[in-house]
Structure 1
Amino acid sequence: MNLKQMAGIEAAKYVEDGMIVGLGTGSTAKFMVDEIGRRVREEGLSIIGVTTSKETERQAQELGIPLKGIDEVPYVDLTIDGADEISEDFQGIKGGGAALLFEKIVATYSKKCIWIVDESKLVKKLGKFPLPVEVVPYGSQQLVHLFKEQGYAPVLRTTDAGQILVTDGGHYIIDLHLEEITDPIALGTYLDQLVGVVEHGLFLQIVSTVIVGGESGPKTIHVP
């Protein structure tokens, strides 16, 4: 079993009958959704899923997981999602799979959030992984220029075919190559205030539990 799969299966154990569950997006979350689908099918687990992307929605539908939209539920009991980087103080960067806006909306309305990762995602400080910033297309080049002036080494994200990537929300993503983020909260506040920025990939003060897939088995860290 690979480390991502190990973390995904371990996290699915936290899902209980009657829960409304946020289903994350990405390679690690995919294993978790598969396992929840297996539990629905084989164990009669009864839940409602709220997906964070069209990709996860398709997967959950194929597995027979009942779904509702975020605006059709009063809240989410638990969201399980991957992360691209987690710092020592449990702040995160997400959005490598281009689903950061919907992921953050679902996480914000969740009572608890579990992140599932392999050991490589744990870092001292955030920033080696490029920070995604989701922006409206109109004026996006102005933001690229602004970020260049700030020394953020911005790159407009493209698809494998070389087209500009468009998110599920109809936006573009500018990846900031920062190397190290010394003050994630200050950077998040700055990005929040920029006109044309819809959301950014800094997930701060949001996670309750981190499950790490490692060679010796899954390790669960409860965030203080």
Structure 2
Amino acid sequence: MSADLSPIDKAKFAAAKRATDFVEDGMRVGLGTGSTAAWLVKCLGELVREEGLKITGVPTSSRTAALARDVGIPVISLDEAKWLDLTIDGADEYDGNLNLIKGGGGALLQEKIVATASDQMVVIADVGKQVDTLGAFPLPVEVIPFGWQTTKVLVEETLIGLDVLGRTASIRMNGDHPYVTDEGNYILDLHLRRIGNPRQLSLVLNQIPGVVENGLFIDICDAVVIGYGDGRVELRNINDGTIEESQIDFLEGENLFSDLSD
């Protein structure tokens, strides 16, 4: 089964598998959204079913909640949990300071709320998500539907005075209609190419009327688990500055490989 996976899928699986080492019995765990996070949910589900791991999941989207239930992970809301021990999620980009761009899957608002309500946030990603400077991936900005075109103009005008290379925004579409988030909002994707000062940009964007939240995660991530297509895994911890390397073996007939390939 594993031979049918692409190198990218193997890298995502390796990162997700290694990240399960952070999870302990009794934890309340934030479950991210996206293809890499889906591998994590499957890995945790296998531990719940086959090894008796006892955890409670707080999903960051309706689709993550559905997957978690499918694989046997008990799910509660953040309001019920109140505070989390750990959140594990993917990223669209990360830099050397573990600043992130997230929101490619459309769940940035819930992802940021859950991540900041956690004692620790761990990002899982393939090595292709690593960048020297954020911005090649379009930056998602969640906006309310009312007056979104005005909000778009205000965002583009604001970008003129900031340290970015591109200054255009586009509404994310779902077929012929704007994409709608779980919170009923729209997403503007900012095509910036390079973000010179992510902290400043994040603060300024959130001051614009109509903007709910942006996809820059600054000083939130504690560690990143980087997967490679050959099963190698690198763990970088921003708090103590350590880098650990390990190897994940791909087993033929692995249950996870039979029905998930994002």
TM-score tier by shorter-chain length is: over 0.9
1:195 and 2:203 equivalent?
no
1:69 aligns with 2:77: yes
Deviates more, 1:139-148 or 1:97-106: 139-148
The CA deviation string for residues 73-123 of structure 1, in whole angstroms up to 9 with x for no partner, is: 131000000000001211100000000000001001000000000001000
Contact 2:154 2:208 in 1 (8 A): no
- Name the structure 1 match of 2:180: 166
Within the alignment, does 1:148 sit opposite 2:135 as a pair? Answer: no
TM-aligned CA deviation for residue 147 of structure 1: 2.8
1:22 to 27, 30, 40: 30
RMSD: 1.0
Residue aligned with 1:205, SS: coil
Q: Distance in 1 between matches of 2:156 and 2:76?
A: 40
| Partner residue, 2:238 | 223
Q: Deviations over 1:171-202 (max 9, x none)?
A: 00000000000000100110111111111000
Question: Distance between the aligned counterparts of 1:13 and 1:89, measured in 2?
Answer: 23
- What is the number of residues matched between the two proteins? 223
Q: Which runs of 5+ in 2 are unaligned?
A: 3-9, 161-166, 240-262
- 1:127 is aligned to 135
What pairs with 1:93-132 in structure 2 (closer than 5 Å)?
Answer: 93-132=101-140
* Partner-residue secondary structure (3-state), 2:26: coil
Aligned partner of 2:15: which letter?
A
Matched, 1:54 2:62: yes
Q: Distance in 2 between matches of 1:187 and 1:24?
A: 24
Q: Distance in 1 between matches of 2:61 and 2:192?
A: 26
Letter in 2 for 1:73: A
TM-score calculated relative to the size of structure 2: 0.83
1: CA distance between counterparts of 2:45 and 2:104? 24
Distance 2:22 2:73 in 1: 16
1:179 aligned to which of 188, 193, 198: 193
Partner of 2:16: 8
Residue segments in structure 1 that go unaligned for 5+ positions in a row: none
Identity of aligned residues (%): 47
Letter of the structure 1 residue corresponding to residue 60 of structure 2: T
**Secondary structure, aligned partner of 2:119:** strand
CA–CA distance in structure 2, aligned partners of residues 162 and 112 of structure 1: 39
2:87 paired residue number? 79
**Distance apart, 1:215 and its partner CA:** 4.0
State the Cα distance separating 1:145 from its structure 2 match. 1.5
Q: Secondary structure at the match of 1:28?
A: helix
Given that residues 155 and 208 in structure 2 are in contact (C-alpha distance below 8 angstroms), is that contact kept between their aligned partners in structure 1? no
The letter of the residue matching 1:164 is: P
Task: State the match for 1:157 in structure 2.
Answer: 172
Q: Report the counterpart of residue 44 of structure 1 in structure 2.
A: 52
State the partner residue of 1:204.
218
The one-letter amino acid of 1:71's match is D
